[in-house]
Structure 1
């Protein structure tokens, strides 16, 4: 582990222009990572998503052959939370649909192209708005998990979504000295509730969402 960590430090130094710019954390063992699954490290306040380290992946059945994956990034949003009263936590998340990433440029064009001859687009169209999730309730399920329910606005429609959220770490980011809290979350939605109707019977209606999110205290 130390060999890998030292290599990472030199790689960082090459980018930043000097070994002194690499945080000392990269020369330490993994047991001393800045983040840990320790709820006592989380302090009350308002946090903003770190868009560089927050991703939403989606997975949908393709023709019954296999599952297809895509990814959303550049996600923004806020979290207000007091660890002494989890049920009062609030989340607002904004996902730029137009910045979807898939393995094929042809498929990306399919997701974002306008409808043929003035018809409705197959998926989102060329200028889709933001997908916005706003929490309506948070129920703590264990020391490190919670059930978060809310409303998802997407593709001009709104509907409820419930996700299981797991606390994955908290601490101070050695690059910017910000208090950081991380979560993983999972949810399944029916795309037809948001007007994405293309290929029913061939492309699955159920879409599995996997979220990894880092929040930095403001």
Structure 2
């Protein structure tokens, strides 16, 4: 292709692209709108909220043989929060996580997480019917303008042990899709899985599991 033909083709392509953009002003109008959620506590009203299961996830990661970390996700999470922005330390949470809905990159590994124990023994990880993990808050302590430490009891695999989560308030506002008042948080926690009887592969598969949580609550 000579320079003239190439330049003509490039000009036509540019015109087509910019013409397409000009033909879609709604996209620009939408992007110019204010983001619905803002990190502004005055937007939060007191009351009871339920988790938006479609937009709440728990990411977990664990060391794999010391080479790298392996990741997975829990979804379809349900729960409630009662909160008054004037008294954050009185807030309470109850969260239910369906362990059986775990998502990982390998179908073989998911089978390993959920398969029964060999020859009638205990499963390596959760087994085929692990039920729900349940987190119930016991204490909320403000640590900054938009942060708090939330302590609670995590029940999983038939055992209960305390967990501390570092929580950040991310944003609040009206969800433009369903108009519900929504409050969002990010949280981070680390647990020792052996406290819940999940001992497989320790120490070559790490016992410390880091959890990163993204949660959206809608007011009822």
Q: Give TM-score scaled by structure 2 length.
A: 0.87
Paired residues of 1:39 and 1:143 also in contact (CA < 8 A)? no
Deviations 1:12-61 (A, max 9, x none): xxxxxxxxxxxxx971326x111000010000000000000000000000
* Whole-Å separation in 2 of the counterparts to 1:83 and 1:26: 33
How far 1:154 sits from its partner (Å)?
Answer: 0.2
What's the Cα RMSD here? 1.6
Structure 1 gap segments, 5+ residues each: 11-24
Largest Rg, 1 or 2:
2
Q: Which residue of 1 aligns with 2:46?
A: 44
Q: Which residue of 2 aligns with 1:94?
A: 96
* Whole-Å separation in 2 of the counterparts to 1:115 and 1:26: 57
- Moved beyond 4 Å, runs of 4+: none
Q: Which residue of 1 aligns with 2:32?
A: 29
How far 1:98 sits from its partner (Å)?
Answer: 0.2
SS in 1 for 2:144: coil
Structure 2 gap segments, 5+ residues each: 1-20
* Whole-Å separation in 2 of the counterparts to 1:117 and 1:162: 37
Out of 133, 136, 139, which is 2:135 matched to?
Answer: 133
Q: Which residue of 2 aligns with 1:216?
A: 218
Out of 114, 122, 129, which is 1:112 matched to?
Answer: 114
How far 1:178 sits from its partner (Å)?
Answer: 0.2
Aligned length: 198
* Whole-Å separation in 1 of the counterparts to 2:29 and 2:47: 28
Q: Give TM-score scaled by structure 1 length.
A: 0.88
How far 1:142 sits from its partner (Å)?
Answer: 1.1
